[in-house]
């Protein structure tokens, strides 16, 4: 299916890219990231215009996010309850819910690109829990811009070598994720130590 999609890029280009990123943000299993890398390669070859490729990819993602958010807002708990009947979806929704409760705005931003498999489920959770539209939209747009820029730009830089570009971006995202985990752990440890040494929390010895 991926090869078939990529073969359509020269013919349908920007419309195909926008439709793919839109549908991928609704949890449909489409190769949006690979398509963005490929479209970036076509832009490097002069067959597509780079800024138009970026705009199409980002616009499709933003529109998909908005549809997911408003679906959660309008359909609410009963809709999510039906989705949760499937164990795999239930696990994803549980992770998205926990992520939103911990970080809110940051969760929306990171789930566009760094934790993208959770993105569609974060959209639904944000909508169904009445999360403020502006607080969802601003980090959502920023995150989609990072997602599109990262993949389209890498595809452009590697001039269509999708395999090499995919390997490089996978390694880069892994490093970012690892660094984020280390920073989060350090922040938690610092907060714990600080809390332990505040008046009233120091250990008392007889």
Any idea where the domains of the chain sit in the sequence? 2-196
Helix axes 133-157, 32-44, angle to 10 degrees: 50
Q: What is the CA radius of gyration of the chain?
A: 20
Q: pTM above the 0.85 mark? A: no
Say how far apart CA 36 and CA 56 lie, in whole Å. 10
Q: pLDDT (tens digit, 0 to 9) for every residue of the chain, 206 residues total?
A: 566 666 777 778 899 999 999 999 999 989 898 899 889 988 988 989 999 999 999 999 999 999 999 999 999 888 889 999 999 999 999 999 998 988 889 999 999 988 888 999 999 999 999 999 999 999 999 999 999 999 999 889 877 555 655 555 555 444 444 333 333 333 334 444 455 555 554 444 44
């Amino acid at each position: 299916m991926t090869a078939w999609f990529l073969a359509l890029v020269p013919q349908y280009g920007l419309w195909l890219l926008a439709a793919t990123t839109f549908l991928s943000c609704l949890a449909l299993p489409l190769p949006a990231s690979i398509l963005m890398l490929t479209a970036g390669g076509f832009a490097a070859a002069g067959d597509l215009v780079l800024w138009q490729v970026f705009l199409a990819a980002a616009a499709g993602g933003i529109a998909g996010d908005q549809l997911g958010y408003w679906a959660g807002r309008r359909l609410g708990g009963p809709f999510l309850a039906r989705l949760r009947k499937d164990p795999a979806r239930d696990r994803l929704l549980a992770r998205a819910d926990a992520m939103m409760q911990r970080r809110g705005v940051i969760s929306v931003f990171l789930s566009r690109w760094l934790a993208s498999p959770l993105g569609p489920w974060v959209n639904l959770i944000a909508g169904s829990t009445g999360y403020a539209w502006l607080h969802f939209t601003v980090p959502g747009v920023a995150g989609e811009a990072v997602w599109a820029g990262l993949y389209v730009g890498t595809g452009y830089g590697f001039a269509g070598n999708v395999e090499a570009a995919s390997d490089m971006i996978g390694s880069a995202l892994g490093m970012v994720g690892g660094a984020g985990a280390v920073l989060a752990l350090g922040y938690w440890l610092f907060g714990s130590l600080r809390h332990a040494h505040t008046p009233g929390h120091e250990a008392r010895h007889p």
